[in-house]
Amino acid sequence: MSDAEREPQTSPSAALARRAAVVIGVALAYAGGLLFAYAERKIILWLVIAIMLALALDPAVRWMMRHGLKRWSAAALTSLVAFLVVVGIATALAIPLVSQTHQLISKLPTYTRDLFKPGSVLQPLDQRFHIVERIRNVTTTDVIRIVTGARGSILAAFTRTVSLLAAIVTIFAFTVMLLIEGPRTWGGILGLFSERRHRAGALMGDRVAEAVGGYVRGNLLISLIAGVAAYLALLILGVPYPVPLALTVGLLDVVPLVGATLGAVVCIVVSVPQGWLTAVILTGYFVVYQLFENNVIQVAVYSKTVSMSPLTVLVAGLAGATLGGIVGVVIAIPLASAVVIVFRERSWTEEDEPVASGADVAAAAELLPAAPKRKPAAPKRNPPAPKPPAAGAQPDVE
């Protein structure tokens, strides 16, 4: 009896049961991973924010390393400078921001009544929905509680403050550690794969880091430009509370597609009591600036990031808002950009060689030795023409 005949035959029911067990095991593993991610979603969110900040600060670290500093000292110095810049800006804006924000919140009910007063354009809306009557009993304290979210006790407010400080400290620590150990950790992960997949993964990682880091730096720069420009426009037009309004424009400008529009609407509403001419001029300013930002600033700043369609940006923003609010919206776009790059780099999963772009080919060509120059081949000479037979000679006859 041959060896093939001696082997036990697997019945179809046993094979089906084995496949079902594998499918159930994989499904349970995925479900367990999702439950774990949901339970630790706060830590995961902090880690994702730290990764994006580390990718944004990594060019500065590399620049310092090229000038003789070690990676740990360059990472520590970069993090310290970034922290001091943020603290300096916050300190400079703290006093006018707090005072003007309190005055603005206190005047919100008054602004609403002025918008819907008799004879105004919005009076038909008040006649239909009774907006002024609904907000008549709203006090300044109620507005402050609604805007700041301070609806609980003092202990709840203290707990939220401590949680915010803990998040800031944790994200800062994650960022410093990623700047120091991030490249080594990524290299260790790539070392688990074959040489071909190692090269493909390194190329993909560089492109993801360039796209995500460029997006974060560009988004912060564009928001800063929008806030400063809005502050100057509000100051020139004499609109009250320019500091909190400009800060609102800068923060909302981080949100793609609709953030800048929402910030402009807030500023225009506050400028209405100053006169309709001021509101119209401010509206024209925001329209012109938005066109300039979309067609000039974003094109220049986001030139090295992955371009995505507005539909993709909108879907990613909505998904991020559902999972993490405004912070989720901010981090959803670079994450979507990274996913697009991963799917474009099919060499990570396919067996063929990775397809390099023109920039990668040019960079690789600079590292290769120059090919030796060959001497030009001598031109071929035509064979000499046969001499005519002499006079009187008889031609050869075969």
Give per-residue pLDDT as tens, 315-373: 777 777 777 777 777 788 788 878 777 777 654 445 444 444 444 444 444 444 444 45
Contacts of 271 (CB under 8 A, 6+ apart): 234, 237, 239, 278, 279, 282
Asked whether residue 181 falls in the same domain as residue 219, the answer is: no
Q: Which amino acid is at 1?
A: M
Q: Can you spell out the DSSP letters for 228-260?
A: HHHHHHHHHHT-S-HHHHHHHHHHHTTSTTTHH
390 occurs within a structural domain: no
Residue 348 pLDDT: 47
Q: 79 and 182 share a domain?
A: yes
Please state the pTM of the whole predicted model: 0.67
The answer on 116 and 257 residing in a single domain is no
Contact 98, 247 (CB under 8 A): no
Boundary-marking domain end, from 166, 192, 218? 192
Domain membership flag for residue 118: yes
If asked whether residues 49 and 167 sit together in one domain, one would say: yes
Looking at the fold, whether 351 and 309 belong to one and the same domain comes out as yes
Residue 34 lies in a domain: no
Q: Which two tokens stand for residue 277?
A: 């001419």
The helices-and-strands tally (H runs, E runs) of the chain is 15, 0
Handedness of CA 285, 286, 290, 296 (dihedral sign): positive
User: Collapsing DSSP states into helix, strand and coil, what is residue 37?
Assistant: helix
188 shares its domain with 99: yes
Within-domain flag for 378: no
Q: Say yes or no: 152 and 209 in one domain.
A: no
Cα torsion angle, 172, 177, 180, 181, sign = negative
Separation between Cα atoms, residue 229 and residue 246, nearest integer Å: 8
* Domain edge (last residue) among 149, 164, 192: 192
Q: What is the mean pLDDT of the chain?
A: 76
Residue 363 counted as domain residue: no
- Are residues 214 and 181 part of one domain? no
Residues 248 and 289 in one domain: yes
The answer as to whether 22 is a domain residue is no
Domain boundary among 137, 164, 192: 192
Same domain? 246 vs 304: yes
The whole-number pLDDT of residue 387 equals 57
Answer whether residue 78 is part of any domain: yes
Q: Which residue has the tokens 């924000």?
A: 101
Is the C-alpha dihedral spanning 323, 329, 333, 335 positive or negative?
negative
Query: Are 66 and 124 members of one domain?
Result: yes
* Spatial separation of the C-alpha atoms in residues 52 and 31, rounded to whole Å: 27
Is residue 294 in a domain?
A: yes
Helix (H) or strand (E) holding 359: helix 358-367
Place of tokens 């990682």: 205
Which residue ranges of the chain lie beneath pLDDT 70? 1-11, 119, 121, 130, 132, 135-157, 257, 302-308, 345-398
Domain check: are 218 and 238 in the same one? yes
Instruction: Write out the residue range of the structural domain in which residue 327 sits.
Output: 203-357
- Whats the size of the chain, residue-wise? 398
pLDDT of residue 361: 47
Per the structure, how many domains does the chain have? 2
Nearest 5°: the CA angle 337, 342, 348 is: 170
- State residue 367's pLDDT score: 43
